[in-house]
Amino acid sequence: MAAEQDLMEKVVALCKRRGFVYPGSEIYGGLANSWDYGPLGTALKNNIRDWWWKRFVQSRDDMVGLDAAIIMNPKVWEASGHVAGFSDPLVECKNCHQRFRADQIDQDAPCPSCGKKGTFTEPKQFNLLFQTSIGSVEGDKSRVYLRGEIAQAMFVNFKNVLNTTRSRVPFGIASVGKAFRNEITPGNFIFRTLEFDLMEFEYFIRAADWEKTFEYWLGEQKAWLAELGFDAGHLRVREHEKEELSHYSKRTADIEYQTPFGWKELFGLAYRTDYDLRNHMEKSGVDLQYTDPDTNEKFIPHVVEPTFGLTRLLLMVLLESYTEEGEGDERRIVLKLKPALAPFKAAVFPLLKNKADLVGKARGIYDTLRRDYSVAWDDRGNIGKRYLAQDEIGTPVCITVDFQTLEDDTVTVRDRDTKQQERIAIADLPRHLAA
């Protein structure tokens, strides 16, 4: 357990030290469960998102994209059931007024915050939707919500998508974007935050197909985790018990990851039936049925929803890829990221920074490569230190320009994982990075 806690602390420290993640509003003392993504974190997040989009949207015939507004008509959240049902049971300590999830603490034990015993209130439902208001008048008329999930826009736009694309059931609508939840439980770094990025699609099907569709997407979620480099032994599937199902779900399975703070949900998969389209149809009065173009049969499609927490996945990718190797001078931290995820695909170094011809040659390679790839430049310290600095941020290769380069236009390319070096012609570098 101590070693595992240690891993979490090391990843958090690396994130701060190298600019993956910073505490939100840090110069004002921060804000609980709020974090900012620095230059490397932004790159890693974008790389995960781009891979997801390519794999699940761009490369498929049956998926289309949607990028919707965060603030929607509040009637959406009434129809979806979130105003009434998107809540956690909370207890409050009558002494220190700290609130806790009733299902996550022992209510007979002393308050974890002030240590007093027997001070908890009865559990009360606490809605997770953030409220704000439009315009200058506050009150019920102007009240709106920050979206608690990105899914609703895909249901609300179902008709628009049908009318403007050639999508036919079965098909999916995919979205990536921020969701907001008034979380009060401890966040475990970026695991649980007030706002977070989600990647998700609603897959519209005939009711009779839900079980096979569910199994198919569970398989696809697992397959992508393997492609991302996750060890299958660190993952498990957990079916939701009846009483923990969301208000819209008939079956939910979570893919959980073995974190230093226990098995935790990474991805979710839910069979939402026709709950959302049916409710929006009833409340809006707009016909959201699908008409089969071959048979003219009309029906409300059912939905299987695979959901992928992007910021949560980023944390698990870091935990999974963080490695320490070697002894003494050889000791190093390596982020064993898949090259597609690495913030930099390569780093370029001149062997010596005070030799203008080496620096000029290296600069030329750097400028050429970064037209197509994200590439780092480093001319500080010695080569060994530069390697270490790139290893701990996951850069797959380091390219060094030395005196031989000036004679034969080859460079040294050093591999992050094996530390092996080979000489490669400058002209072959783009091919090498693309491999």
Q: Which of 88, 200, 276, 391 binds ligand GAP (CB under 6 A)?
A: 200
* Contact code string over 247-266 relative to ligand GAP, x by CB under 6 A: ------------------xx
Spatial distance between the Cα atoms of 129 and 147, rounded to a whole number of angstroms: 7
Q: Does 235 bind ligand GAP (CB under 6 A)?
A: no
Phi–psi pair at 25, nearest 5 degrees: 50, 45
Q: Does 198 bind ligand GAP (CB under 6 A)?
A: yes
Spatial distance between the Cα atoms of 196 and 314, rounded to a whole number of angstroms: 11
Q: Does 217 bind ligand GAP (CB under 6 A)?
A: no
Supply 57's token pair.
């949207």
Binding range to ligand GAP, per CB under 6 A, among 155-163, 229-237, 301-309, 347-355: 301-309
181 versus 416: smaller Cβ distance to ligand GAP: 181
Q: Which of 192, 302, 345, 361 binds ligand GAP (CB under 6 A)?
A: 192
202 versus 391: smaller Cβ distance to ligand GAP: 202
Smallest gap from residue 358 Cβ to ligand GAP (A):
46
Chain position whose Cβ is nearest to ligand GAP: 309
CA distances from 273 to 250, 281, 290 (A): 7, 14, 15
Q: Does 82 bind ligand GAP (CB under 6 A)?
A: no
Binding range to ligand GAP, per CB under 6 A, among 21-29, 196-204, 218-226, 419-427: 196-204
Buried b (16+ CB within 10 A) or exposed e, 229-248: ebeeebbeeeebeeeeebeb
Q: Does 274 bind ligand GAP (CB under 6 A)?
A: no
What does the H/E/C string look like for 152-204?
Answer: HHHHHCHHHHHHHCCCCCCEEEEEEEEEECCCCCCCCCCCCCCEEEEEEEEEE
Strand, helix or coil at 286?
Answer: coil
Q: Which of 41, 268, 343, 394 binds ligand GAP (CB under 6 A)?
A: 268
Q: Does 41 bind ligand GAP (CB under 6 A)?
A: no
266 versus 426: smaller Cβ distance to ligand GAP: 266
Phi-psi region of 19 (alpha: psi -120 to 50; beta: other; left: phi over 0): left
Sequence-ordered list of residues with C-beta below 8 angstroms from that of 180, at least 6 positions apart, any chain: 70, 129, 130, 146, 147, 148, 194, 195
Q: Does 172 bind ligand GAP (CB under 6 A)?
A: no
Q: Does 88 bind ligand GAP (CB under 6 A)?
A: no
Spatial distance between the Cα atoms of 347 and 400, rounded to a whole number of angstroms: 8
Q: Does 100 bind ligand GAP (CB under 6 A)?
A: no
Sequence-ordered list of residues with C-beta below 8 angstroms from that of 280, at least 6 positions apart, any chain: 76, 79, 80, 155, 156, 158, 286, 288
Cis status of the peptide bond prior to 170, with omega within 30 of 0 = yes
43 versus 315: smaller Cβ distance to ligand GAP: 315
Binding range to ligand GAP, per CB under 6 A, among 286-294, 308-316, 338-346, 387-395: 308-316
Can you say how many angstroms the Cα of residue 290 is from the centroid of all Cα atoms in its chain? 32
Q: Does 267 bind ligand GAP (CB under 6 A)?
A: yes
Smallest gap from residue 252 Cβ to ligand GAP (A):
8
127 versus 400: smaller Cβ distance to ligand GAP: 127
Strand spans (E) along 233-301? 235-239, 251-259, 262-273, 290-291, 298-299
Smallest gap from residue 289 Cβ to ligand GAP (A):
22
Q: Does 379 bind ligand GAP (CB under 6 A)?
A: no
Q: Does 307 bind ligand GAP (CB under 6 A)?
A: yes
**Amino acid of residue 255:** I
Binding site for ligand GAP (CB under 6 A): 149, 151, 181, 183, 192-193, 196, 198, 200, 265-268, 305, 307, 309, 311-312
